[in-house]
Structure 1
Amino acid sequence: MNTTFSHSGKLFLLPTTLGDNEPLEVLPATVQQQVRRLNIFIAENEKTARRAIKKLVPEKSQPSLSFFLLNKHTDPADIPSYLESCKSGKDVGLLSEAGCPGVADPGAEVVKIAHREGIQVVPMVGPSSILLAMMASGMNGQNFAFNGYLPIDKAARKAEIKDLERISLDKNQAQAFIETPYRNNKMLEDLTATLHPGTRICVACDLTLSSEFVVTKTVTEWRKTKVDLHKRPTIFILQKDY
């Protein structure tokens, strides 16, 4: 199907590493090639974005780079202006802090505007912690949901965990979610205290790093397992089969 876009500039969705490893261990050379030619970027944090670019393309001139910041301090009214360069024929790169832009990432708002404005969106291959966790979990990869963060309030969290367990059984749907890294151990404790003994839990931690840890066990088995997830990026997935 041929589609005519309104502008010649494109929005490239540029994945980054999930941790402090060598970029080309997990990113294809095509990402490096695009970063090498781009000078305009949208990112959550300029300092970390510059560091990621320098690590991927060490020879790139840092003074030549321009950044538009997209984070909790950004005025939503300013976001459409970030794509003005695309309208004048220049390509723009959207960088995630970790993993893939637009997936559990504020970059989705930029992508939405790009489609609205007739700007071509080009997603590039890179590590997604959600997909990597699902791949390695042994749970239903044909029907799963990512739920972001669960409630902090103890009662609300317990209710949400039970609700996700019910949905997983009713729909045969794996339920994935995350937690602030310093609360990971408490999350696993809450899961094992709340869920049915036979419900499976996957803990996918430090994905793509040398310390990677991906294990799926039943609640009963996790109650007998000691693991320290403190301050380690982790995806949790649960599924009840009966």
Structure 2
Amino acid sequence: MLAFQDLVIQRHNKTCPLISGWNVKGKLILVPTPIDEENTLDSATLAMINDGIKAGAKFAIEDLKPGRRRWLRFGLPREQIDEFVLYNEHTREAAIEELLAHLKSGKDVFVMSDAGLPAFCDPGRLLVDRAHQAAVKVSSTPFYNSIALAVALSGYDHDRFVFEGFLPTKDPARSERLKEMAKEKRTMVLMDTPYRLSKCLNELAEVLGPREICLALELGMQTEEVIRGSCAKLRSKFDGQKRPFVLVVSPKI
């Protein structure tokens, strides 16, 4: 039987190809918000939120007072405020169950923190993790830092994480870096060129063993995919593919 974390989490309402007879349509959508309250959301984000309202989405916010204030400043419907779900470190256990039930019913959930990127060094991380485990799609409104976004979409614990950057292109430097990574216990983030996607997965499968990764492909594009699973399983799926990616390695337990 396939583990939930090995199922593809794709952008848009597409049937997950690895699920037979079960189509989870709801998406968990992170909504990055400006640090400065005087700034508003971009038009694409506002359009996604308004479409979500019309489709019966739920909106999770971190704190009611600033959440309401920002919502109205963004020019969003006042009547939606009464439907907000409070999600923070004090309410998350009950809120997660409510939000997952809504997602599994086929409706989307939008998550907004007081400021910045939800689930990045934020209580929303646990909700993202639970969504992956439940084979719920995870995505975001437009955000232009692929590193932070990949970490947030992974759902992995990243109170402390290591940015490995681009791997060296040639041995022995590349092999030595991979050996060092195998010893690292913290969450790691790395990148490489699209044409080395298969090579990277094959190499990591050899050094990481069963340790799980999150592969974030073509973030922000129509073809975006975010998938969690072991390198051994993912390398066969993406064999020969050449796609921009950010790879997040789960912390070593």
TM-score by length of 1: 0.47
Normalized against structure 2, the TM-score is what? 0.45
Please tell me whether Structure 1 or Structure 2 has the larger radius of gyration of its CA atoms.
1
